[in-house]
């Protein structure tokens, strides 16, 4: 059994900045999550048509911005003009899509930590991994704790590893598909992040036995959190930033 390396990230991680209490993946969301006591955050990063890393979860713009169609088809000059806040409430009208550079500045200025989910437009998995990792490596140069790069897409993690091998990587899993363990090992992952429903004592033991950390998403109910904490998971990503205060939630 391998001994896991020291883990520098807090156990509680705010999903997309502040879960559902602010427009996801915006600076407003990170500010709100921080106001609730969170010091670690998760966000989704993809590429504009001209190769600039910015924050957005969906492949398309329709749900969370005033734009339409595939986000990856627009250059940053167009994306930067969109309203990414009014869908959530009038108080957030005019909130813009942030670049990874802007988020990194906020994180480093305040001493917060970040889990960057590489969320490529389909067909751009390896390229997105390479570009995001290269920029993250630059933006966090000299930082005591680098960002954790995660993805559901092995090709994206492979691109990240090829470009910035020193940045830690984690494989995201919604199902335990065949060969997931071997793939995580081949990518040099330091953690596996599963749907919280998949995590049980046997899986925690297997991950820890490999020297990896066990993380879960998206934990919003107290009963689920207590079960997972009792199993010894190393990270819980949550939307419920108003109910799970990191200082008191374990």
Report the alpha-carbon distance of residue 174 to residue 141 in Å, rounded.
Answer: 32
List 57, 88, 92, 208, catalytic entry: 57
Asked whether the beta carbons of 156 and 122 are under 8 A apart, the reply is no
88 part of the active site:
no
User: Is 57 among the residues known to form the active site?
Assistant: yes
Distance CA 48, CA 172 (A): 23
Catalytic entry in 15, 88, 92, 208: 15
Closest CA to 42 of 60, 64, 24, 61: 24
Q: How many CB atoms lie within 10 A of CB 90?
A: 8
Helix runs in 80-200, H state only: 100-110, 125-139, 154-163, 180-186
Which positions are annotated as active-site residues? Answer: 15, 57
């Amino acid at each position: 059994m391998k001994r896991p390396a020291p883990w520098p990230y807090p156990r509680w991680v705010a999903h997309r900045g502040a879960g559902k209490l602010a427009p996801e993946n915006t600076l407003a969301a990170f500010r709100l999550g921080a106001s609730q006591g969170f010091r670690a955050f998760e966000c989704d990063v993809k590429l504009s048509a001209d190769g600039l890393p910015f924050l957005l979860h969906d492949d398309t713009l329709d749900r969370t911005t005033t734009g339409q169609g595939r986000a990856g088809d627009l250059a940053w000059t167009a994306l930067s003009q969109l309203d990414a806040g009014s869908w959530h409430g009038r108080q957030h009208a005019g909130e813009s899509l942030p670049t990874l550079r802007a988020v990194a500045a906020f994180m480093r200025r305040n001493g917060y930590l970040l889990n960057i989910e590489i969320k490529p437009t389909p067909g751009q998995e390896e390229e997105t991994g390479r570009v995001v990792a290269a920029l993250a490596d630059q933006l966090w140069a000299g930082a005591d704790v680098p960002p954790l790069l995660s993805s559901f897409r092995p090709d994206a993690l492979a691109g990240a590893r090829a470009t910035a091998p020193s940045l830690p990587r984690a494989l995201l899993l919604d199902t335990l598909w065949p060969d997931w363990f071997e793939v995580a090992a081949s990518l040099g992952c330091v953690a596996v992040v599963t749907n919280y429903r998949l995590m049980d004592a046997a899986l925690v033991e297997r991950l820890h036995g490999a020297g990896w950390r066990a993380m879960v998403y998206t934990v919003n109910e107290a009963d689920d959190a207590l079960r997972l904490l009792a199993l010894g998971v190393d990270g819980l990503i949550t939307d419920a930033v108003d109910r799970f205060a990191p200082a008191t939630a374990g």
